Amino acid sequence: MLLIDREGSATEAWTRADGAAIGNLSHALVGWDALPEALDQKSSDQKIGVLVPNSLPSEALKPFFDQLALVAIGFPAFADGRGFSLAKVLRREGFRGTLRASGPLIPDQFDYAIACGFDEIELPEASASRQSALQWQQARGRLSRTYQRGYTRDGNILDRRRLARAAANSPAG
Amino acid sequence: MYRYDEFDERFVRDRVAQFSDQVARRLDGSLTEDEFKPLRLKNGVYLQLHAYMLRIAVPYGTLSSKQMRQLALIGERFDRGYGHFTTRQNLQFNWPKLRDVPEILGLLADVEMHCIQTSGNCIRNVTADHFAGVAQDEIEDPRPVCELIRQWSTAHPEFSYLPRKFKIAATGAQHDRAVTKAHDIGLRIVRHPDSGEIGYEISVGGGLGRTPMIGKVVRDFLPKPDLLAYLEAIMRVYNQEGRRDNKYKARVKILVHEIGTEEFRSRVEAEFATLDGPSVNADPEELARIEAYFAPPAYETLPRESAALAAARASNPAFDRWAGTNLTPHRADGYSAVTISLKPIGLAPGDATSEQMRVIADLAERYSFDELRVTHAQNIVLPHVRQDDLHAIWEALVPAGLATANSGLITDIIACPGLDYCALATARSIPIAQAIQQRFEDAERQTEIGELNIKISGCINACGHHHVGHIGILGLEKRGIESYQITLGGDATENAAVGEILGPGLPAEEVPGAIEAIVGVYEAERNDGERFIETVKRVGLSPFKAAFKELSHAAD
């Protein structure tokens, strides 16, 4: 397993719990089915994360937003893009914790994942053995500017053009 | 036409560098073939039957002379001296080497072109009415909104791994020349019946392929400024809800069909309602910036009718025939749009040699404000030609083999590459088109028959649009033998309809005879001045089926 965030390879703080048995894990990652039970047992200093399927409706997760430090969205395959939309919707609905993409993504999807609201990627070993953290870093920003507004990316082209128009229209000096 | 600004230029250069890096990571094993495949497809690189194929985007079918010359150069240097114009207004090269692709992409970027998203499960090149900005029945030129959509859909962070490909077409005219109802999204520029405001009618869920469907209107009137947010809502619903368990059921048409138009519409509207429009939509000033590039050229003030044209037509029957078939009325007095047929009798529909591309580019530069169009019927248009210049243009087209007088006629056949090139094909398409052309070669006969669209696909994926051909031909393979299924009554216009099957499949050599029989029924049944499709709609399929049955019996 390899965990990657904006800074490069990251240290895994989370431990996968067996069902809802979170014991005294400081960062317990549970499955969607076990979430209500795990939250019942949660002590005040414990953090809970949940791994959800990419087909989960955002409304199902919304009531738990305040109690969750991490949501990991499963990517069954890199070509299954549902997780990008789910991440985007969870951010819009107000989830402020860490968003993780969990599955065999490829480095060329890193920017897309960040733009849709993800913070980190958890790669299975089979992918990590071929694709180094360095390759993931190098894939960032390959397309220096993109067109879409409303995504987590600085200075999209439409906003840049708007700024240029404003500068051209403002009085000299 | 649109010109890149510094951002567009930087983007295509970045994209070339990115693809070179992706190729390198494939070669060193970092990327598996499965992982590399969507990356190469999104850069237009297919693996075909005999070689790689490179599909170049011609956004909304508009090209400059300089761009056409660059395509000629690429065809000469990296292919076999020709290219193939497609039903999605693109250009395909059938014989490039994979190692040459980054260099070709660089040459394209030099002339503000690319291969981005001409394949793969993403939003594809946006197509438009090839008479945009020219047609007399147009409310507004659709190309600015196509360019806006092109930019918005390019490398979209959320919608680049869709369940399946996604095609958008737009028209600003009453008469639909862009087959909008056979696209995943069809966009029509309309005027609001009460306010007179210009906006968009949005259809979703059209498509051909193995399950042909006509698009359903989900929004009668969308105000122009809301476009990108509304498209985002459609795409999000599709990305989350579209089927991913079966690639043949993954297009948005299946989702719309399975949950129903009403339910699809309500999901889209609910999503649209939650979006913060101002943070998503383009500023009206951005659309205005793009629109400025499509301002009409500086037409001369001319009399409505050209005396020179009338005189040339009167004195030269061959020119007269060509002028009678290959000209389209222009909104500017004294001008015409010229269709250059890429359907000479007996050659592959849509193919053009590098030499022909240069002839066309020169004519556009000299006579048509440097502008060209690629049509979905696989022909080329000189959009703004003075009628006074038509004879000179025709004289230049004749020696280049480009003066075939058959636009819209029975020999102006749409055909996919078929089994001669395509890895998916189950039967040949091009030889069938050639055989039909030869059967109806006589110019007088073609004129007598009048407007008749034959469309041929070499497999059920329907790249040749056979479902919406007046006569559609679908090539299948049955027990190792090619078999051609004939449909009748398809319509690609605003009256979009899917053709119905006439009878059992035929062997290749019997197809021209079957077309002859169908045409015979039309000639016997038609009223004065009635076009083929009008007769079919009036009399129904029965007389055609009867003739077809007779034909099959004769063959037994």
Which residues touch B472 (CB under 8 Å, ≥6 apart)? B454, B455, B456, B457, B465, B466, B486, B487, B488, B490, B499
Q: Which CATH superfamily is domain A2-142 in?
A: Aldolase class I (3.20.20.70)
- Note whether ipTM > 0.90 here: yes
Contacting residues of A for B31, CB less than 8 Å apart: 106, 130-131
Domain B307-400: top CATH class: alpha beta
DSSP codes, chain A: -EEEETTEEE----EE-BTTB-TT-SEEEEEGGGHHHHHHH--TT-EEEEEE-TT--HHHHGGGGGG-SEEEEE-SSTT-THHHHHHHHHHHTT--SEEEEES---GGGHHHHHHTT--EEEE-HHHHTTS-HHHHHHHTTSSS----SSSS-SS-HHHHHHHHHHHHHSPP-
Please indicate if any CB of chain A lies within 8 Å of the CB of B278: no
Q: How far is A22 from chain B (nearest CA, A)?
A: 31
To test the contact with chain B by mutation, choose from A2, A144, A158 the residue with the greatest count of B C-beta atoms within 10 A, namely A158
Residues spanned by CATH 3.30.413.10 within chain B?
134-292, 414-555
Instruction: Judge: A82–B283 Cβ closer than 8 Å, yes or no.
Output: no
Domain B6-110: top CATH class: alpha beta
Please tell me which of the candidates A132, A144, A149 has its beta carbon nearest to residue B14: A144
Please indicate if any CB of chain A lies within 8 Å of the CB of B276: yes
Q: Which CATH superfamily is domain B414-555 in?
A: Sulfite Reductase Hemoprotein, domain 1 (3.30.413.10)
- Closest-approach residue (CA) in chain A for B275: A92
Instruction: Judge: B7–A78 Cβ closer than 8 Å, yes or no.
Output: no
Q: How far is B223 from chain A (nearest CA, A)?
A: 19
What element of type H or E holds B204? strand B198-204
Classify the C-alpha dihedral B162-B163-B164-B167 as positive or negative: negative
Q: How many Cβ atoms from other residues are within 10 Å of residue B314's Cβ?
A: 10
In angstroms, the CA B445 to CA B321 distance is 12
**CA distances (Å), B18 to each of A56, B22, B90, B289, in order?**
33, 6, 22, 28
To test the contact with chain B by mutation, choose from A73, A147, A159 the residue with the greatest count of B C-beta atoms within 10 A, namely A147
Instruction: Judge: B239–A81 Cβ closer than 8 Å, yes or no.
Output: yes
Domain B134-292: top CATH class: alpha beta
pLDDT tens, per residue, chain A with 173 residues: 899 999 999 999 999 999 999 999 999 999 999 999 999 999 999 999 999 999 999 999 999 999 999 999 999 999 999 999 999 999 999 999 999 999 999 999 999 999 999 999 999 999 999 999 999 999 999 999 999 999 988 889 999 999 999 999 887 54
**pLDDT value for B421:** 86
Which residues touch A170 (CB under 8 Å, ≥6 apart)? none
- Closest-approach residue (CA) in chain A for B284: A162
Q: Kindly give the parts of chain B with pLDDT less than 50.
A: none
**pLDDT value for B206:** 96
**Token pair 């039309």 in the structure block, residue:** B522
**Token pair 């599955």 in the structure block, residue:** A103
Instruction: Judge: A130–B32 Cβ closer than 8 Å, yes or no.
Output: yes
In angstroms, the CA B43 to CA B53 distance is 11
- Closest-approach residue (CA) in chain B for A160: B7
Please indicate if any CB of chain A lies within 8 Å of the CB of B11: yes
Q: B24: helix, coil or strand?
A: helix
Instruction: Judge: A80–B161 Cβ closer than 8 Å, yes or no.
Output: yes
- Closest-approach residue (CA) in chain A for B274: A92
Contacting residues of B for A143, CB less than 8 Å apart: 11, 14-15, 18, 155
Instruction: Judge: B286–A109 Cβ closer than 8 Å, yes or no.
Output: no
**pLDDT value for B554:** 66
In angstroms, the CA B522 to CA B511 distance is 17
Would you tell me which residues 156-195 of chain B have a C-beta closer than 8 angstroms to some C-beta of chain A?
156-162
**Token pair 């060509």 in the structure block, residue:** B322
**pLDDT value for B550:** 86
- Closest-approach residue (CA) in chain B for A79: B161
In angstroms, the CA B15 to CA B92 distance is 19
Instruction: Judge: A145–B7 Cβ closer than 8 Å, yes or no.
Output: yes
